[in-house]
Structure 1
Amino acid sequence: MSVRQIASLTNPTVKAVRALHMKKEREATGLFLAEGLKIVIEALDQGRAPKMLMFGKEADHPLLDRAVRETLAARGEVIEVTREILEKIARRENPQTVIAVFEQRTTALDALDPKSASAWVALEQVRDPGNLGTVIRTADAAGCGGVILIGETVDPFSVEAVRATMGSMFALPIVRTSREAFLAWRKTWPGSVVGTLLSATHGYRDAPYKAPTLIVMGTEQSGLTPEVAAACDVNVKIPMRGRADSLNLAVATGVMIYAVTDQA
């Protein structure tokens, strides 16, 4: 296989790749978009080669040569495109000069090994893709074992979520599960299951965490559902000392992650 070129905005491949902005298309194909050479290199470092790699004529970086080489070696498609095509696919001006298409991969709950890491993160009904991507990136940075998505959450393979992970989505197992399946599986958890509640008596710094610790976070608007909150054996609160009465979900989760991992 070799590098081919596309210059037409109406090319079927361009249309198919651009369509991956839509959830229904991602679900139908099992594919997703990732923008930027950094994310592609992070994927390659984790043994994940793109199914398709597109790059602009102006792209010039030593790591691009590696991306092209390894994509072709994995029998992926490599295409040189115009800036106009990159803008159309990215749906914005000043797009990244490299865009890739990957296969979606998630992990089953039963395939996780809780004792392989001191901390794990579960998010119930998270709605904002930027928050989700930032939590995945933070969990990776702190050495967490993985991220579990409970119930009707935002698609982790949306362009916005993938962008916010900065490549960390390739480094961690990501699980998608129902509330019922999570509650059944949680009964086998060997350490602490921690939730954040405004009514909690323990502060997040001084709670009795037992590794491995599963940090369970809900939405900014309503927090955890009663069923999931009841499944937590440790409840903590992050104090609000100013006028704001809540923290951004990604910030609050980051605070919890480092409180737990610092004790490990």
Structure 2
Amino acid sequence: MITSTKNEKVKYWKKLQTKKGRMKEGKFFIEGYHLVEEVVSSDWNVEELIFAEGTPIPDWGKSLPIQHVHGAVFNHLSQTKTPQGIAAVVHIREEPEIVGAPLLLIDAIQDPGNLGTIIRTADAAGFSGIILGKGTVDVFNDKVIRSTQGSLFHIPIMQGDLEEAIPKLKAEGYSVWASALEGAEIYNTVSPDGKLALILGNEGSGIQKPLLKLADKIVKIPIYGKAESLNVSIAAGILMYYMKG
């Protein structure tokens, strides 16, 4: 039982809550019953489980290394308003090879909630993988992970330079769609045929022009009311389900 927040292991876990710490150690910290159960049942490597004093250990967690901590220590570690008393340290795995279609290409989306929701929706819509371009929020950010609701552990995700990745995809027979307003066709007037990839852009500035020039189709979702635009995660959901056919 760890009872002090000054314990070296506690300091180590706190370090995993920073991007710098995650990159250095190659691990990340997650908390909450659902997320921990999801990662344990996936093919990701879980280093250890952390339980607050008095929190029951579920059957699926009993075969893993377990560390008990005092409730005050867990609250010190927790990044949620209502801690559930269960957390895990997980190894960042080697980036998977992404095969199949459709694919999602993320250009500098910076809001953690948006990215997590998009990952969750891509998983639900049956997308084959996601490439995160430069300037995108860290996928192992706590808010991103929580917003994915476990989908982070089910859909292949890799980092990449989209200016390099898109020409390679086109050479492999993919048709690349970009979600933008200028020079765009209404999305449901374009037939979603063949292998497709969809670019989604930054919340404020949209897709970078060099990437737009690489797209085969630029599509938009019509706005019928007075809203200026749709939230990027909502637009992503509409387009992904349409493209999946």
Question: Is 1:33 aligned to 2:16, yes or no?
Answer: no
Indicate how the Cα distance of structure 1 residues 212 and 187 shifts in structure 2: closer, same or farther if over 3 A, else same: closer
1:120 aligned residue: 103
**Alignment partner, residue 74 of structure 1:** none
Distance, in Å, in 2 between the alignment partners of 1:120 and 1:187 is 12
| CA positional deviation for 1:160 | 1.0
Q: SS state of the match for residue 28, structure 2?
A: strand
Check conservation: 1:134, 1:164, Cα contact below 8 A. yes
Residues 159, 126 of structure 1: alpha-carbon distance in 2 compared, 3 angstrom cutoff: same
Per-residue deviation at 1:19? 1.7
Secondary structure, counterpart of 1:195 in structure 2: strand
Cα 1:221–1:184 shift into 2, 3 Å: same
In 2, the alpha carbon distance for the partners of 1:242 and 1:141 equals: 28
Pick closer, same or farther for the CA change 1:193–1:106 going to 2, 3 Å: farther
How many residues of Structure 1 are paired with residues of Structure 2 in the alignment? 245
Q: CA deviation at 1:223?
A: 0.9
Shift, 1:197, TM fit: 1.8
- Residue 203 of structure 2 is aligned to residue 220 of structure 1: yes
Q: 1:253 to 1:93 in 2, by over 3 A?
A: closer
Whether the 8 Å contact between 1:53 and 1:68 is mirrored in structure 2 is: no
Compute the displacement of 1:136 (Å): 0.7
Distance 2:212 2:84 in 1: 41
Q: Which moved more, 1:8-17 or 1:183-192?
A: 183-192
| Alignment CA distance shift 1:211-1:46 (3 Å) | farther
Distance 1:91 1:44, change over 3 A: closer
By how many angstroms is 1:170 displaced?
Answer: 0.7
CA distance in 2, matches of 1:93, 1:220: 27
Paired with 2:134 and 2:80, the residues of 1 have a C-alpha distance of 31
Aligned to 1:176: 159
Q: Residue 42 of structure 2 aligns with which residue?
A: 46
Q: Distance in 1 between matches of 2:49 and 2:138?
A: 22
After superposition, residues 69-148 of structure 1 pair within 5 angstroms as 69=63, 71=64, 77-107=65-95, 111-114=97-100, 117=101, 119-148=102-131
Structure 1: where are the runs of 5+ without partners? 72-76
CA distance in 2, matches of 1:139, 1:178: 20
SS in 1 for 2:197: strand
Q: Which residue of 2 aligns with 1:68?
A: 62
Unaligned runs of 5+ in 2: none
State TM-score, norm by structure 2.
0.93
Cα distance in 1, alignment partners of residues 15 and 55 from structure 2: 23
Report if aligned partners of 2:166, 2:214 keep a CA contact under 8 Å in 1.
yes
Q: Spell out, residue by residue over 1:208-262, the C-alpha distance to the aligned partner (whole angstroms, 9 max, x if none).
A: 222321111101211111111111111111111222211111111111111111x
**CA drift at 1:48:** 2.1
1:21 partner SS: coil
Q: Alpha carbons of 1:239 and 1:106: their partners in 2 closer, same or farther (altered >3 Å)?
A: farther
Alpha-carbon RMSD across the aligned residues, in angstroms, is 1.7
User: Which residue among 173, 185, 192 is the counterpart of 2:175?
Assistant: 192
Partner of 2:2: 6
The answer as to whether partners of 2:50 and 2:87 remain within 8 angstroms in 1 is: yes
Deviation at 1:106, TM superposition (A): 4.8
- Counterpart amino acid of 2:26? G
Contact kept in structure 2, 1:54 and 1:78, CA below 8 Å: yes
- Contact residue 99 and residue 129 of structure 2 kept, 8 A: no
The 2-side partners of 1:239 and 1:180 are apart by: 28
Are residue 167 (structure 1) and residue 161 (structure 2) matched? no
Residues 171 and 92 of structure 1: CA distance in aligned 2, closer, same or farther (over 3 Å): closer
